[in-house]
Structure 1
């Protein structure tokens, strides 16, 4: 079938809306009519750093309606409202023990450019286009394996839900699935973008006593307060480590770095109390750490977390329930854009005009 898609023709190039061809779904796949797709930093990295083969149709926070199911699909049917999440094999040790975010073939399935059978579904004029995250949701339709398609409630605005498939589940899941902070504990969250703000809301759900947001943009810190951060610090204006240790009488129990900025990663470790735990979710370059003073000497833990250590088919419906009950108002992070304005959405994400852009594809 012919569909309209935002094609990334080459490294660093703008998205181009074009007519492309999409093959029929195979036995375990579904065809989804895309309603809206979130804009994530990982899409920008794929475009600018070519971490996936190009040309490609990017997009990995899709939400839509099932249009057709393959003959072996058992859990989904035409008309279901769904969110698309990351691809995983479903049968390696990590997948089978509830950790598909560290699937043994995660990188191949999400960044390799093909579906799990190593073939393409997308093409233009007979030439293959790479798939991204097993979905390529910057198009009017997408094909995904039933494993990474999550059925969601029909009574919630479907256009809002796509970011639950990656960025928002990353922030919330790092708190709810990985750190699991004790009631009354303290946590510092470095970076008040979509991932960090989602972590703040999750920390409130867990009953953290002090939730400290750190950023360099006052507007984001104001939103962090609205979303129940108990304290905010502007990293350009204060000594963050000193301030946190004073606020918490010695440091936080937990920290999350969403920035990937080496000096900030160091701060997240140095502002922990003894036996504290820091989760790193930002893409961080090679950096120096004083292992003795920053970690070992006070029994601290530094851990990496991918996609919030989530099982999407379990966790995304939980986040929807939290949203419906008023405990997880992630709609406050969102700004909508028309499909034709996808390049503006990415620019606004880069400059901070929008915290979590969502591109509406079907109206």
Structure 2
């Protein structure tokens, strides 16, 4: 079938909305009409750094309605409302033990440009157009494997839900699934974008007594306070480590680092108390640390977390329930754009104008 999709033809090129051909779903796959899709930093990385082959239709925070199912699909049916998340094989040791975010084929299935059978579902004439995260949600229709499709309640605005598939589950899941802070403990969140603010909301749900939000934009710090932060620190104006150590009585129990900026990563370690744990979720370049003084000497831990260590079919419905109960108001992060405004949405995301842009496709 012919659909409209935002195609990226070469590294660093702006998105171009064009007609492409979408193949029918194969066994285990479904075709979904995309209602809306989030804009994520990972899409910008793929556009600009060439981590996936071109031409490609990016997008990996899609939400929509199932319109067709392939053979042997049992988890969803035509008419279901769904959120799409990352692709995973479902068969390796990590998938089978509840950690699909570190699937042995994760990079291949999400960044390799093809579906699980090594073929493409999107074409322009005789040219294959590559797939991203097993979905390519910057298109009016997508083909996805049922494993990375999550059925959600129809009584929630479907247009809001796409970012639960990546950015928001990354922040919330890092706190609730991996760090699992004890009630009454303290946590610092570095970077108040969609991932960081989701971590703050999750820390409030978990019952953290002190929640420190660190950013360089006062507007984001104000939103962080609204969402549950007990302290808001502008990294350009104060000594973050000193402020946290003094206010927390020696450092925080936990931290989430979302920025990927090496000096901020060091802050996240230095502001921990002994035995504290920092989860690194930002894409961080090569950097040096003093292993003895920064970590080992005080029994601290640094861990990497992908996609919030989530099982999407379990975790995303939980986030929807928290949202319905008023405990996870992630809608406050969102700004909507028409699909044709895709390049503006990416620009606004990069300059901080929008915390979480969502593109409406239908």
TM-score normalised by length of structure 2 = 1.00
Alignment of 1:295 with 2:292, yes or no, is no
The runs of 5 or more residues in structure 1 that have no matched partner are none
Matches within 5 A, 1:72-87: 72-87=72-87
What residue number does 2:285 align with? 285
What residue number does 2:193 align with? 193
What residue number does 1:307 align with? 307
What residue number does 1:275 align with? 275
- Equivalents in 2 of 1:37, 1:54: separation in Å? 21
- Equivalents in 2 of 1:99, 1:313: separation in Å? 12
CA displacement 1:216-275 (0-9 Å, x = unmatched): 000000000000100000000001000000010100000000000000000000000000
- Equivalents in 2 of 1:126, 1:146: separation in Å? 27
Matches within 5 A, 1:81-120: 81-120=81-120
What residue number does 2:61 align with? 61
What residue number does 1:50 align with? 50
What residue number does 1:214 align with? 214
- Equivalents in 2 of 1:239, 1:153: separation in Å? 45
Secondary structure at the aligned position of 1:143 is classed as: strand
Matches within 5 A, 1:1-363: 1-362=1-362
Secondary structure at the aligned position of 1:168 is classed as: helix
- Equivalents in 2 of 1:148, 1:352: separation in Å? 29
CA displacement 1:56-96 (0-9 Å, x = unmatched): 00000000000000111011100000000000000000000
Shift of 1:303: 0.1
Shift of 1:125: 1.4
- Equivalents in 1 of 2:68, 2:150: separation in Å? 15
Shift of 1:118: 0.3
- Equivalents in 2 of 1:46, 1:229: separation in Å? 32
Secondary structure at the aligned position of 2:278 is classed as: strand
Secondary structure at the aligned position of 2:131 is classed as: coil
- Equivalents in 1 of 2:136, 2:256: separation in Å? 29
Secondary structure at the aligned position of 2:113 is classed as: coil
> What count of residue pairs does the alignment treat as equivalent?
362
CA displacement 1:17-47 (0-9 Å, x = unmatched): 0000000000100000000000000000000
Shift of 1:126: 1.5
CA displacement 1:94-146 (0-9 Å, x = unmatched): 00000000000000000000000000000111200110000000000000000
Aligned CA-pair RMSD: 0.3
Secondary structure at the aligned position of 1:212 is classed as: strand
CA displacement 1:174-232 (0-9 Å, x = unmatched): 00000000000000000000000000000000000000000000000000000010000
- Equivalents in 2 of 1:161, 1:328: separation in Å? 12
